[in-house]
Amino acid sequence: MVQMPRPIILDCDPGHDDALAILLAAASPEIDLLAITTVGGNQTVEKCTLNARRICTVAGITGVPIAAGAAGPLLGSLHIGGYVHGESGLDGPAFADPTVPQVDESAVDLMRRVITEHPEPVTIVAIGPLTNVALLLRVEPRIADRIQEIVIMGGSTDRGNDTPYAEFNIRVDPEAADIVFRSGLKVTMCGLNVTHQALATPEVLARFRALGTKLGDLCVELLTFFGSSYFKTWGFESPPLHDPVAVARVIDPSIVVCLPQPVAVETAGRYTRGATVVDLHHLSGDPDNAMVATELDAERFWDLMIGAVASYG
């Protein structure tokens, strides 16, 4: 039986790994990319939106609406990930002015319209702070019936990267994450414990280079800058390509093994605000509210990612 492509909205904050997630989602026949929405995170929402347009322009991704969303979290002001992604949010390569436009609609309005109008329930793949998604659920609660699943890159079953216990996307907007995890919707969490298995090693970079294409070279430049940040801040020899793991889970669930778990978001901790508390041994007796990624088939993940970039020619 021919599988119909899954309709998704990609909510992102490009961001080096977000850029590769856009390339993967737009190239995959298993996915029908309905919209790209942006949120303040790795950089300001203006810069992240410009970066989404830049990537779509270089790759020739036209016809996917791009809308700008929340400039900052539900509470407080935006903590930017410039220490990883640089001043532009996509430091490394030089980009020409983008020709792919931004639509004249907010991210939440675009999400609401696209989901309401689509005949099938839509999956949201959220690879930045969860502000837009939480706002959507709050302004239009009835939309829940039209959402098939929310697949996120965020959190961890272990420790954090932005603070000792909090992963960046959750740390930027813990209240939004709390709303999403307590929404009752099917939530799948691809956290650092799996994305740290997606390492862009020198062999991976050589495979991108060997494509001999403009986009293959662009990926090498992006991953080289991203790698230098990861070395400086965390001492990683090779950087982990977080966001495309969430997209891979949608394309082929067998690449990212998940288990049902109770997950709570720490919103009050003095040192741990933004941590995802995953009850791996079901000690709390709380019901499972998320599918939590526990293992990545890294070989198949890279075949998928590199194959997607190759398909642009």
Residues lying near Ca ion in the complex (CB under 5 A) are found at 13, 15, 18, 127-128, 243
Binding partner at 266 among ligand BDR, Ca ion, none, C-beta below 5 to 8 Å by kind: none
Nearest to 239 by CA among 136, 92, 46: 92
- Residue 165 binds to ligand BDR (criterion: CB under 6 A): no
Task: Give the three-class secondary structure for 48.
Answer: helix
Measured from the CB atom, the residue of 91 and 167 that comes closer to ligand BDR is: 167
Q: Which stretch binds ligand BDR (CB under 6 A): 162-170, 173-181, 247-255, 284-292?
A: 162-170
In the set 18, 149, 173, 178, which binds ligand BDR (CB under 6 A)? 18
Q: Which stretch binds ligand BDR (CB under 6 A): 10-18, 116-124, 135-143, 302-310?
A: 10-18
In the set 19, 242, 258, 266, which binds ligand BDR (CB under 6 A)? 242
Query: Shortest Cβ contact with ligand BDR: which residue?
Result: 168
Binding partner at 246 among ligand BDR, Ca ion, none, C-beta below 5 to 8 Å by kind: none
Q: Which stretch binds ligand BDR (CB under 6 A): 15-23, 59-67, 144-152, 266-274?
A: 15-23
Query: In the bound complex, what is the minimum distance in angstroms from residue 171's beta carbon to ligand BDR?
Result: 9
Nearest to 153 by CA among 122, 178, 126: 126
Nearest to 83 by CA among 177, 163, 202: 163
Positive/negative CA dihedral, 195, 200, 84, 246: negative
Helix, strand and coil in the chain, % to nearest 5: 40, 20, 40
List the structure tokens of 148.
Answer: 């098939």
In the set 15, 89, 92, 244, which binds ligand BDR (CB under 6 A)? 15
Element (H, E) at 52: helix 45-59
The CA distance from 165 to 157, in Å, is 10
Q: Give the rounded distance of the alpha carbon of 96 from its chain centre.
A: 24
* 79 part of the active site: no
Element (H, E) at 23: helix 16-27
Residues 66-105 that bind ligand BDR (CB under 6 A): 81, 84
Question: Which of the following is catalytic: 16, 79, 85, 242?
Answer: 242
Query: In the bound complex, what is the minimum distance in angstroms from residue 199's beta carbon to Ca ion?
Result: 17
- What letter does residue 9 receive in the DSSP assignment? E
Q: Give the rounded distance of the alpha carbon of 188 from its chain centre.
A: 12
User: How buried is 63 (Cβ within 10 angstroms: 0-12 exposed, 13-18 middle, 19+ buried)?
Assistant: exposed
In the set 42, 43, 131, 188, which binds ligand BDR (CB under 6 A)? 42
Q: Note the residues at the interface with ligand BDR (CB under 6 A).
A: 15, 17-18, 42, 81, 84, 127-128, 153, 161, 167-169, 242-243
Report, as residue numbers or ranges, the catalytic residues.
242
